[in-house]
Amino acid sequence: MHKETRMSKKAFPRLRRPREPRLRPCAAVRQREWLKTLPVVRKGPLPPKDWTPKHACPCCDYITLAERGIGLICPVCWWQDEGLARDILNLPSPINRELTLSAARENFQRCGVCDTSLAAFALSVAEREKFARRQVEQTDVAAQI
């Protein structure tokens, strides 16, 4: 009679956590070697090799950009460069919070940065003077486009 109520070991085997599948050492090495053969995917353009500023910023005209068209941010006015092809005054720039270049230039004249929300990060005039400035005639060319 007692035998019937007692839980038998056969009916209720001890629960064990299932063993995790583990790669054999040689298979793990093979997998690591295979991963090395995959191409490295890089998102976005390469940074410039030479960071000396050579190009003028389309917004503030200070020569601050090492290269055009690779998304560099101007340290004077904080405008993110989109390349020569997008230096169009009334074209909203998606990477600059949909600001147009003309609006950004107006903001720069007013508070020293391209976007009024960045006014706290504006450089002082003395700090700005560390950068050379493009001639005004050349900016008029961009204005005609």
101 membership: H or E segment, kind and range: helix 101-111
The yes or no reply on residue 123 touching Zn ion (CB under 5 A) is no
Question: Token pair of 138, please?
Answer: 């050349």
The yes or no reply on residue 72 touching Zn ion (CB under 5 A) is no
The yes or no reply on residue 77 touching Zn ion (CB under 5 A) is yes
Nearer to Zn ion, 57 or 99 (CB): 57
Q: Which stretch binds Zn ion (CB under 5 A): 8-16, 51-59, 82-90, 127-135?
A: 51-59
The yes or no reply on residue 56 touching Zn ion (CB under 5 A) is no
Which residue is it, tokens 């005004």?
136
Strands (E), the chain: 55-56, 63-65
Q: Write the binding mask 8 to 47 for Zn ion: x where contact by CB under 5 A, - elsewhere.
A: ----------------------------------------
Pairing mode, strands 63-65 and 55-56 = antiparallel
Give CA separation, 22 vs 17, 19, 67, in Å: 14, 9, 49
Q: For the CB of residue 70, give the shortest distance to Zn ion in the complex, in Å.
A: 15
Nearer to Zn ion, 60 or 101 (CB): 60
Q: Which stretch binds Zn ion (CB under 5 A): 2-10, 44-52, 71-79, 123-131?
A: 71-79
Q: How far apart are CA 53 and CA 57, in angstroms?
A: 10
130 membership: H or E segment, kind and range: none
Give the footprint of Zn ion on this chain (CB under 5 A).
Answer: 57, 59-60, 74, 76-77, 79
